[in-house]
Structure 1
């Protein structure tokens, strides 16, 4: 007699999904009866599994066997489905965030799960979703609702500021130590004053600087279009491209490269971020 080969876990799970999908197409009365049968079978399985688990837990040897059995993906999934094993808060919170990621991506950004401590979740908005704008607050509220709905143990959702780093630091500037001002560095605004993708004008003595934060990196350029020497701070920004408000020259703020005339580019300044303060090396 030929022994039927055991189907693997993924194939069995696929069969369940396909049958459930087919049930959705049944008439309402038939669909309700099929779902009621599904619930009854699952309740029967849960009752038997819980009795089996309690029996194993009566001895140390049984506990070891139970732990070893739970390493099998199919057994773990069955225990998880019936609430015999519960995922840790971090895993459950991460699953909740997966539901909102498509919406975040549609707004040009994302969300990172930083950590879970007690009943508090710490997340970081990324890309166009970061900052203090009204849209960012709307996204924050959506994230909080999704997490609390899936993980009721969570009471607080805290937004962590995106880590800000230097976008341009040539080798010779990296060696500056000690007193930064004596080495030609000038303290600019705090990193929190820069919103993602919104250039800020900073003046020091007779020098105008254009500061911009892109994907958590701060870039500094001379606030001067190399075409005619006019200021750029009033230019329209689309993603990382700024358009000179005077004659329409376009520049990539992530590199300083001119998209209109490749032979010219913006003059960059070395930048460093220390204790949330932006320093620019102007000399």
Structure 2
């Protein structure tokens, strides 16, 4: 049976921020990105680091010229990642998937905003 738990008032989670909350013995990171909220267990699947305590940054993409030579790197602003502070593993904020291997992912929780509050479903 699932249970919805109040996390915080909606206006306390500003765009581009993360709030880590403890619900029982589980830490969950709530991330607001592009107006939507995403909730992930604060455990990196690599070695258990506190992934939601990491930085948010856009994906870095290589620019390759017509001859196949590296030109530079750009930030891909429409693909934001959260970066685990322990070993730099990157996960897409919108899906929780690892930036390179989609089979590696963060544990995702359903999240709801209603009545001016944010709830996570356990």
Q: Same fold (TM over 0.5)?
A: yes
CA RMSD after TM alignment: 1.5
Instruction: Give per-residue Cα distances to partners, 1:186-215, cap 9 Å, x unaligned.
Output: 111111111212211011110100100111
Q: Which among 26, 42, 57 is matched to residue 207 of structure 1?
A: 26
Q: Please name the residue that 2:43 is paired with.
A: 224
TM-score by length of 1: 0.34
Unmatched runs of 5 consecutive residues or more in structure 2: 59-79
Q: Number of aligned pairs? A: 101
Query: Which structure's residues are more often helix, by fraction?
Result: 1
Instruction: Give per-residue Cα distances to partners, 1:89-119, cap 9 Å, x unaligned.
Output: xxxxxxxxxxxxxxxxxxxxxxxxxxxxxxx
Residue 233 of structure 1 aligns to a residue in which SS?
helix
Structure 1 residue 183: Cα displacement? 4.6
Q: Which among 254, 259, 263 is matched to residue 99 of structure 2?
A: 259
Select the structure of larger CA radius of gyration.
Answer: 1
Distance 1:267 1:204 in 2: 15
2:90 pairs with 1:250: yes
Query: Which structure's residues are more often strand, by fraction?
Result: 2
TM-score by length of 2: 0.76
Unmatched runs of 5 consecutive residues or more in structure 1: 1-181
Kept after mapping to 1: 8 A contact 2:52/2:82: no
Distance 1:190 1:266 in 2: 24
